[in-house]
Structure 1
Amino acid sequence: MPDPLSQTFSALADPTRRAILAELALGERTVSQLVEGRGMSQPAISKHLKVLQQAGLIERGREAQTRPCRIAPRGLDAASGWIDRCRADWEDTFGRMDAFLAGMAAPRDKGGTP
């Protein structure tokens, strides 16, 4: 079984699953509501929902005959944390590169020779 971060990114890699998440961000939906207007069968949507649930991105309840789906509140925390760490590392690296390049350009700006 892949690690949770890999599962999250794998689930997000599919445009249909991202569209489902976007719809669920507007509020809870049943499987039938998610099938409407997608041109996909109920079993196909259910497979996408299973992937999203296994990745921890959605939760499924049980109310009488329906299984409403909703966004999992903490579902994107691991991915968001990883992206934030990468962004901080990149900004630090680019900052050091900018400083290095500025130091190389300084003698030329003062009329010095390279």
Structure 2
Amino acid sequence: MSAPHDLPTTTQLVAAVREFLQADVLPEVEGRVRFHTRVAINVLGMVEREIELGPSHTASHAERLALLGVADDAELAKAIREGDLEGGALLGVLAEIVRDKLAVANPRHAE
């Protein structure tokens, strides 16, 4: 965070809500409310990770696309469909893209 905003940061606010739900709400609820509380905890974790990792992932993604000679995801998809891209370089880039997505969505699946 930078001026004009003060502390707490967006990340700190999201973490505080997630921690409250996890520590105070989740143990006190059951059934449908417990399920939705767990979903909310997971969503807030994803938001935290996206805030933290988003800028570096954006830069890395742009570099990877440039290495393949495409400008954006739509152009990447088109090049794959048309058979213009294939082989190890493409597979490596796609694996890195998936790793970044998993790092935000659910880091446990990236292991």
Q: Tell me the TM-score normalised to structure 2 length.
A: 0.29
Higher Rg of the two aligned structures: 1
Instruction: Report which of the two has the higher share of strand.
Output: 1
Q: Tell me the TM-score normalised to structure 1 length.
A: 0.28
